Amino acid sequence: MKTAIIVGSGAGGATVARELQGTYQVTVLEAGGPFHPFAGNLATIERLKTAAGPFFNRRQIPWILPAMKVDATGDGMVLVKGMGEGGTTTICTGNAIRQDHDLKATGIDLDAEFQELAREIPIHSDHESLWRAPTREAFSVCEALGLRPQPTPKMVRRERCTGCGRCILGCPHGAKWDSRDYLHEAIEKGAELVSGHRVRKFVIEDGRAIGVAASSGGRTRLYRGDLIVLAAGGLGTPVILQQSGIECRPTLSVDPVLCVATRWEKALQSHEMPMPFIVQKEHFIISPYFDFLSFFFDRRWRHSAGDIFSLMIKLADANSGNVSPEGVRKPLLELDRARLEEGVECCRAILRRMGKKDADVFLGTLNAGHPGGMLPLTEKESRTLHHDCLPDNLYVADASLFPKSLGNPPILTILALAKRISRLCREHAG
């Protein structure tokens, strides 16, 4: 059987591994290790925070969740990603939203793949019974303001979800779907998972990729494959490409997130399913979201967790920025800042209508967790989903391929894209 090396086990990588195992003998190389949900008591950590004041800083995040990595962009924004089996899907909030309009505009029709996903992944929007009173009120206010809020489709096994609100710390109840489900299916069918191995570059001989160089414990080794698929995420894949001599486009997008919060006694949003509904605006979305990152690391979030109610703005940012082996450069453009400000005003209007005073409103830390867009697909690649600059037997299958920022949850669309790429790779094998 031909062999395939898949780099990364997140949304894109796990999907390709599952789809290709059997046609190829698959090896998944993953930089991180096994993922474990945070099992500690949040109240204890909150007591530590209260006692020590600005005791926490971002470098201490691995104390709580070793798989969560945070990088600074150099422009006041922090980037959050998952580094471990399941990639960033393990720390996601479970939103499953189809966002393929830009792909469709380039001529890529993923209808069949989305239909398959609907059969394979438990997705439902019927969770209003788990909402707390402030969320219900926010929903009604958004309706009254003509913002057309919609309950969010969730990749969640409904019967197991308690609405505990810990999705981004890893679901402790096994309710949330993440890409480890696909990864385990691939392993059951015979795929090999090699964790703790960071791929540096791919190696070319006679115009073909013959394998990848991966490091572990100070040793680097060549993993050979007939087919290579890079799915190291929107920040990981461009670095591997550049270290292999392939230029990427300086079109990084990240979907910046800013929370607009207020004091609300016993709101208990920290113990509620995150992002239960979404308001879609032209350049951003708004959704109720307790921002653990701001709560633990931003001095402005000084109230106790149970007494904060917060609305998230997630922006579709301009595709402008770069990640390289030297780090991330992602300045927000004036236009991005103006749109964020528009979002802040919209959130203030919602909170005002809910009886909250402007003086009690405070913002969170600007952060982002949807990197992608540095090897965008265009009409030219709409049939092959393969760029000419890559060797014939090497594909990319992650958010790097997005033509434009989504300003929306990307997982479902990455899964669909990865499924299509897998189909093309299977045809390649034949």
Ligand X SMILES: Cc1cc2nc3c(=O)[nH]c(=O)nc-3n(C[C@H](O)[C@H](O)[C@H](O)COP(=O)(O)OP(=O)(O)OC[C@H]3O[C@@H](n4cnc5c(N)ncnc54)[C@H](O)[C@@H]3O)c2cc1C
Minimum Å gap between C-beta 125 and ligand SF4 is 14
Q: Which residue is nearest to ligand X (CB)?
A: 10
Quick check: 12 binds ligand X (CB under 6 A)? Answer: yes
Of the pair 171, 406, the CB lying nearest ligand SF4 is at 171
The pairing of beta strand 227-230 with beta strand 394-396: parallel
The Cα 324–Cα 21 span in angstroms is 31
H or E element, residue 213: strand 208-216
- Distance between CA 395 and CA 422 in Å, rounded? 9
Q: Closest approach of Cβ 347 to ligand X, in Å?
A: 19
Q: Which does 173 bind (CB under 5 to 8 A by kind): ligand X, ligand SF4, none?
A: ligand SF4
The closest alpha carbon to 372, from 328, 416, 332, belongs to: 328
Distances (CA, A) of 10 to 79, 179, 185, 186, 263: 16, 6, 14, 13, 36
Based on CB atoms, which residue is closest to ligand X, 13 or 407?
13
- Using CB under 6 A, which residues numbered 67 to 126 contact ligand X? 80-84, 87-89, 91-95
Q: With CB cut-offs between 5 and 8 Å by kind, which of ligand SF4, ligand X, none does residue 135 bind?
A: none
Q: Which of 149, 165, 211, 233 binds ligand X (CB under 6 A)?
A: 233
Q: Is 395 helix (H, G, I), strand (E, B) or coil?
A: strand
Under rule CB under 6 A, which residues in 122-181 are in contact with ligand X? 168
Distance of alpha carbon 258 from alpha carbon 185, whole angstroms: 36
**Using rule CB under 6 A, residue 30 touches ligand X:** yes
- Could you say whether residue 228 binds ligand X (CB under 6 A)? no
Neighbouring-strand partners of residue 204? 209
Report if residue 254 touches ligand X, rule: CB under 6 A. Answer: no
Least distance to ligand X, CB of residue 153, Å: 10
- Residue 261 · residue 291 · CB < 8 Å: yes
Among ligand SF4, ligand X, none, partner that 61 touches (CB below 5 to 8 angstroms by kind): none
Q: Per-residue DSSP letters for 333-378?
A: PHHHHHHHHHHHHHHHHHHHHTT--GGGEEE---EE---B-SS---
H or E element that contains 104: helix 101-105
Interface residues with ligand SF4 (CB under 6 A)? Answer: 94, 156, 161-167, 171, 173, 175-176, 273
* Minimum separation from the CB atom of position 169 to ligand SF4 (A): 7
Is 370 near ligand X (CB under 6 A)? yes
- Residue 273 contact, options ligand SF4, ligand X, none, Cβ 5-8 Å cut-off depending on partner type: ligand SF4
Of 6-14, 51-59, 126-134, 334-342: span binding ligand X (CB under 6 A): 6-14
H helices within 127-232, ranges in order? Answer: 133-144, 180-188
Nearer to ligand SF4, 177 or 301 (CB): 177
Question: What is the closest distance, in whole angstroms, from the C-beta atom of residue 263 to ligand X in the complex?
Answer: 24
Among 250, 238, 253, CA closest to 199? 238
Residues in binding contact with ligand X, number by CB under 6 A: 41
What are the angstrom distances between the C-alpha of 389 and each of 205, 222, 324, 393, 425?
15, 22, 18, 12, 17
By C-beta, is 17 or 161 nearer to ligand SF4? 161
Instruction: Give residues in contact with ligand X (CB under 6 A).
Output: 7-13, 29-32, 80-84, 87-89, 91-95, 168, 198-199, 231-234, 236, 240, 369-370, 398-399, 409-411, 414
